[in-house]
Amino acid sequence: MSAFEARVFSGVQPSGNLHLGNYLGAIKRFAGLQSTHNCVYCVVDMHAITVWQDPAHLQAAIREVASAYIAAGIDPKGSIIFNQSQVSGHAELAWVFNCIARMGWLNRMTQFKEKAGKNRENASAGLFVYPSLMAADILLYKATHVPVGEDQKQHLELTRDIAAKFNNDYADRIAELDLGGEEGYFPMTEPVISGPATRVMSLRDGTKKMSKSDLPDLARINLTDDADAIAKKVRKAKTDTEPLPGEVDGLKERPDAANLVGIYAALAETTTADVLKEHAGAQFFAFKPALTDLAVAKLAPIADEMRRLNNDPGYIEGVLADGAERADAIARPVLQGVKDIVGLLSSRK
Ligand code: AMP
Ligand code: TRP
């Protein structure tokens, strides 16, 4: 048993075009964890500006992620919903972690390589140290569990490396100040990456991740798509010509088919194996309409609620302000402990 109280933390960037991958891989699962855990859900606006964001769009996108959280069933009173830049501890702890993380560790991050592309010299320094800020997000709340999609696994491993190095470098000081349990000052956070849709793929190419920046729009189901758009995208989704197999093994080497079955399973809250049992032998001309009906039934109410909330920016901003205050109340003593441990002097406690 960990000495740390269980707490869930996760975040989504307000970088536009929330899609089915964000929903199934992250936001839907955030909502599900509320019945068993204390949950803190962040709109990570400081991560978003590691690449250029139009300022007016950014503010709308921050409200949109918050409304997606609420529309997907996250309770802004029971859980905490806030945006990162309103709690200054994220930036402060990220600086300390920039001094803990090694260049070599950051150099290995595949997301940086993908996002920076060929022109690495021209990437922002923020994009390079992005994982230190992510570790700060999590550890500022001593979070023990972090639900994310598969693509974030490497960043969570780095978070554990940073926590371990901090605990180890300052072990004597942590003991002297009596600030740590058996594990140290920070917990070894567990990634929560489970279920049939931890990596939702493009509808146009089952070997590529569905992403916010995918072109064309047909590759991605947006959370705000209406029933017609969903139906069209599923109808045009790439498939092969074989019927569905009866067993999971039969989906090997069939990435487009595996993707659609995985999406179906996640939306229906069941397993890929069960979907195949039910649809064994089905051709895509029969399976696709079933998938459309299911996707519309599950996603349309979310889109409706997001539209309703988007018309009420005052409410959303109230939720974010209240969340920031409650988040700050947890973060403040954790950050104070870090300052004491590191030896930064603060006379205003
Ligand atoms: P981002 O859009 O990069 O801020 O991602 C927000 C959350 O959605 C993270 O937990 C990601 O791992 C998750 N996510 C993003 N794209 C996908 C995808 N295609 N499939 C599953 N999860 C995803
Ligand atoms: N890097 C994550 C992504 O792109 C977003 C994120 C930022 C995050 N801070 C986090 C996720 C903390 C989980 C916990 O998807």
What is the rounded average pLDDT for all residues in the chain?
96
How far is the CA of 79 from the CAs of 38, 47, 69, 234, 270, in angstroms? 7, 22, 11, 34, 26
Position 2 scores a pLDDT of 65
CB of 302 closer than 8 Å to CB of 68: yes
Q: For residues 169 and 171, what is the distance between their CA atoms, to the nearest angstrom?
A: 6
How far is CA 29 from its chain centroid?
Answer: 10
Q: What is the position in ligand 1's atom list of the atom closest to the CA of 10? A: 10
Distance in Å, CA 42 to ligand 1 centroid: 14
Instruction: Report DSSP state, residue 192.
Output: E
pLDDT for residue 213 is more than 90: no
Strand order in the sheet with 145-147: 80-83, 38-43, 7-12, 145-147, 190-192
Distance in Å, CA 253 to ligand 2 centroid: 30
Task: State the helix-helix crossing angle for 153-169 and 130-139, rounded to 10 degrees.
Answer: 70
* pTM, two decimal places: 0.97
Write out the CATH class of domain 217-309.
mainly alpha
Position 214 scores a pLDDT of 73
Beta-carbon neighbour count of residue 242 at 10 Å? 11
Q: What is the position in ligand 1's atom list of the atom closest to the CA of 22? A: 8
Place of tokens 């992620």: 65
pLDDT (tens digit per residue) in 3-46: 789 999 999 999 988 999 999 999 999 999 999 999 999 999 99
Domain residues of the chain, as ranges? 217-309
Distance in Å, CA 274 to ligand 1 centroid: 25
Instruction: Report DSSP state, residue 202.
Output: P
Closest C-alpha to ligand 2, atom 14: 10
pLDDT (tens digit per residue) in 276-287: 999 999 999 999
Place of tokens 């869930």: 8
